[in-house]
Amino acid sequence: MRAHFVLSEIGVGLRRNLTMTFAVIISVALSLALTGGALLVNKQVDAMKGYWYDKVEVTIYMCNKSDAASTPNCARGAVTDDQKASILKDLRAQPIVEKVYFENSEQAYKHYQEQFKSSSLASTITPDQMQENYRVKLKDPTKFAIVASLFEGHPGVQSVVDQRDTLKNLFGLLNGMTTVAWVVLAFMLTVAMLLIVNTVRVSAFSRRRETGIMRLVGASSFYIQMPFIMEAAFAGLVGAGLACVMLLGGRYFMIDAGLRLQEKIPLVSFLGWGPVVRELPLVLGIGLVMPAVAAFVALRRYLKV
Amino acid sequence: MIRFDSVTKTYPKQNRPALRDVTLEIEKGEFVFLVGSSGSGKSTFLRLILREERTDTGLVHVLGKDLARLSNWKVPHMRRQLGTVFQDFRLLPNKTVAENVAFALEVIGKPRGTIRKTVPEVLDLVGLAGKEDRMPGELSGGEQQRVAIARAFVNRPMLLIADEPTGNLDPQTSVGIMRLLDRINRTGTTVVMATHDQNIVDQMRKRVIELEKGRLVRDQSRGVYGYQH
The pair phi, psi for residue A67, each rounded to 5°, is: -75, -25
Q: How many other CB atoms sit within 10 Å of the CB of residue B14?
A: 8
Of the candidates B73, B51, B56, the one whose C-alpha atom is nearest the C-alpha of residue B10 is B56
Cβ separation B80–A213 shorter than 8 A: no
- As a whole number of angstroms, the distance between CA B34 and CA B160 comes to 13
Q: B88 and chain A: CB distance < 8 Å anywhere?
A: no
Which residues does A26 contact at the CB level (< 8 Å), separation at least 6?
A239, A242
Higher pLDDT among residues B116 and A176, named by residue:
B116
pLDDT of residue B178: 95
d(CA A246, CA B14): 56
CB contacts under 8 A, A 192-251 vs B, are 209-210, 212-221, 223-224
Q: For residues A66 and A45, what is the distance between their CA atoms, to the nearest angstrom? A: 31
Q: Is the pLDDT of residue B98 over 70?
A: yes
Put simply, whether B43 touches A (Cβ < 8 Å) is no
* Phi and psi at residue A245, to the nearest 5°: -60, -40
Would you call B144 an interface residue with chain A, using a CB distance cutoff of 8 Å?
Answer: no
Give the residue with greater pLDDT, B144 vs A154: B144
Helix (H) or strand (E) holding A160: strand A157-162
**What number of H helices and E strands is found in chain A?**
12, 4
Report the SS3 class of residue B165.
coil
More confident residue, A284 or A185: A284
Q: Which of A158-167, A225-234, B106-115 is predicted least confidently?
A: A158-167
User: Does residue B103 belong to the interface with chain A, where contact is any CB pair within 8 Å?
Assistant: yes
Q: B154 falls in which pLDDT band (50, 70, 90)? A: very high
CB–CB contact B92 A1 (8 Å) = no
Q: How far is A4 from chain B (nearest CA, A)?
A: 10
Nearest to A190 by CA among A304, A43, A34, A300: A34
Listed in sequence order, the residues at least 6 apart from A95 whose beta carbon sits closer than 8 Å to its beta carbon are: A139
Compute the distance between CA of residue B91 and CA of residue B85 in angstroms, rounded to an integer. 10
Handedness of CA B65, B50, B195, B191 (dihedral sign): negative
Please tell me the number of Cα atoms within 13 Å of A194 on its side-chain side.
6
Residues of chain A found within 8 Å of residue B103, distances taken between Cβ atoms: 213, 217
CB atoms within 10 A of CB A98: 14
What confidence category does residue A75 fall into, taking pLDDT thresholds of 50, 70 and 90?
Answer: confident
Least confident of A31-40, A92-101, B97-106: A92-101
Burial of A226 (0-12, 13-18, 19+ CB in 10 A): middle
With b for 16 or more beta-carbon neighbours within 10 A and e for fewer, the A181-190 pattern comes to beeebeebbe
Phi–psi pair at A153, nearest 5 degrees: 90, -10
CATH of domain A57-162: 3.30.70.3040
Q: What is the model's pLDDT at position A226?
A: 87
DSSP reduced 3-state for B35:
strand
Closest residue to B106, CB basis, from A2, A209, A218 = A2
Distance CA B118, CA B102 (A): 9
Of residues A129 and A286, the one with the higher pLDDT is: A286
Handedness of CA A300, A302, A303, A304 (dihedral sign): positive
Please report residues of B whose CB lies closer than 8 A to that of A210.
92
Sequence-distant (6+) residues with CB within 8 A of A123 are none
Q: Is the pLDDT of residue B82 over 70?
A: yes
In terms of CA atoms, which chain A residue is nearest residue B82? A217
pLDDT band, residue B212 (cuts 50/70/90):
very high
pLDDT higher than 80, residue B99? yes
Provide the percentage of residues in chain A whose pLDDT is more than 70: 90
Most confident of A70-79, A188-197, B220-229: A188-197
Which chain A positions have a beta carbon within 8 Å of B155's beta carbon?
A: 217-218
Do residue A213 and residue B84 have CB atoms under 8 angstroms apart?
no
Average pLDDT, chain B: 92
Q: What is the pLDDT of residues A98-146, one digit of tens each?
A: 888 888 888 888 887 777 776 666 677 777 778 888 888 777 777 777 8
For chain A, domain boundaries: 3-52+168-302, 57-162
Per-residue pLDDT at B159 exceeds 80: yes
Identify whether the C-beta of residue B89 lies closer than 8 Å to the C-beta of residue B148.
yes
Report pLDDT for A189.
85
Which residues touch B194 (CB under 8 Å, ≥6 apart)?
Answer: B33, B34, B35, B42, B43, B45, B46, B162, B163, B164
- CB of A6 less than 8 A from some CB of B: no
CA distance A131 to A179: 37
pLDDT at A88: 82
Print burial letters for B179-210: b (CB count within 10 Å at least 16), e (below 16): ebbeebbeeebbbbbbbbbeebbeebebbbbb
Task: Provide the mean pLDDT of chain A.
Answer: 81
The arithmetic mean of pLDDT across residues A272-289, rounded, is 88
CB pairs under 8 A between A and B: 51
* Separation between Cα atoms, residue A130 and residue A114, nearest integer Å: 14
For β-strands B159-163 and B82-86, DSSP reports them as parallel
Give the residue on A whose Cα is nearest the Cα of B149.
A217
pLDDT digits (tens, 9 = 90+) for A235-258: 999 999 999 999 999 888 887 777
Rounded (to 5) percent helix, strand, coil in chain B: 35, 25, 40
Split at pLDDT 50, 70, 90, the class of B26 is very high
CA A18 to chain B, closest CA, distance in angstroms equals 19
Q: Is A212 in Cβ contact with B73 (below 8 Å)?
A: no
B109 CB within 8 Å of a chain A CB: yes
Q: Which residue in A170, A144, A179 sits closest to A37, CA to CA?
A: A179
B73 in contact with A, Cβ within 8 Å: yes
- Give the number of other Cβ atoms within 10 Å of residue A140's Cβ: 10
Most confident of A170-184, A274-288, B138-152: B138-152
Q: How confident is the model over A30-36, as a mean pLDDT?
A: 88
The verdict on a CB contact (< 8 Å) between B109 and A2 is yes
